[in-house]
Amino acid sequence: MVERDNLSIVRQTPAPEGERSAEEIRQDIAAKRESITETVDRLSDRVQQTFDWHTYVTDYPLVALGAAAGLGYLLSRIFTPKPSPRDRIMEAIADSVDDFKDQFSGYLDVVPKKKGQAGTTIKAAATALLTKAATDYVKNRVSESLTKPKIEESNGRTRTAHTTLP
């Protein structure tokens, strides 16, 4: 507290010519603080205007559209999945088959093409034969199981009798 009292006494005494009083120094610091605050505010506004993309889009819409398209293309190229070795091999085989087909397609024009439904008739006949064979097989298996009835003996064992049904 004593020091404060001494400071207040020193303030009240007039300062010599080369020295400034504490009050003048405080006012000078406050003025410089105001000046620095205004400068920082102006700089902040300029930085905000510089990096505000809305301003650029409204001022240069075609450039913004071109930049967006270029960025989209670049991102699509970066994130496009790369084909696996299996995919590359399958693609090479498909290309080879296409080349082979193109090479011999002129020779295939000589072979007469069958018209009509001969192919479908053959398929239908083959399907009918397979169906008939499958049904006969199932019938034979069922009849065999019916002709061999199981007979249980008194000791708990099962035996098969070979009798035929009338």
pLDDT at residue 37, rounded to an integer: 95
CB 160 within 8 A of CB 148: yes
Q: Which residues contact 160 (CB under 8 A, 6 or more apart)?
A: 148, 149, 150, 151
pLDDT at residue 1, rounded to an integer: 42
* CA distances to 10, 24, 63 from 13, in Å: 5, 13, 68
pLDDT at residue 145, rounded to an integer: 77
pLDDT at residue 166, rounded to an integer: 46
Q: Which two tokens stand for residue 99?
A: 């080349």
pLDDT at residue 35, rounded to an integer: 95
* CA distances to 58, 64, 71 from 68, in Å: 14, 6, 5
pLDDT at residue 158, rounded to an integer: 59
- Rounded CA separation 76/80 (Å): 6
Work out whether the CA dihedral 10, 16, 22, 24 comes out positive or negative: positive
Answer yes or no: pTM beyond 0.75: no
pLDDT tens digits, the chain, 166 residues: what are they? 444 455 454 455 555 566 888 999 999 999 999 999 999 999 999 888 888 888 888 889 999 999 999 999 999 989 888 888 888 888 988 888 888 777 777 766 655 565 656 677 888 888 889 999 989 998 888 888 777 655 555 565 655 555 544 4
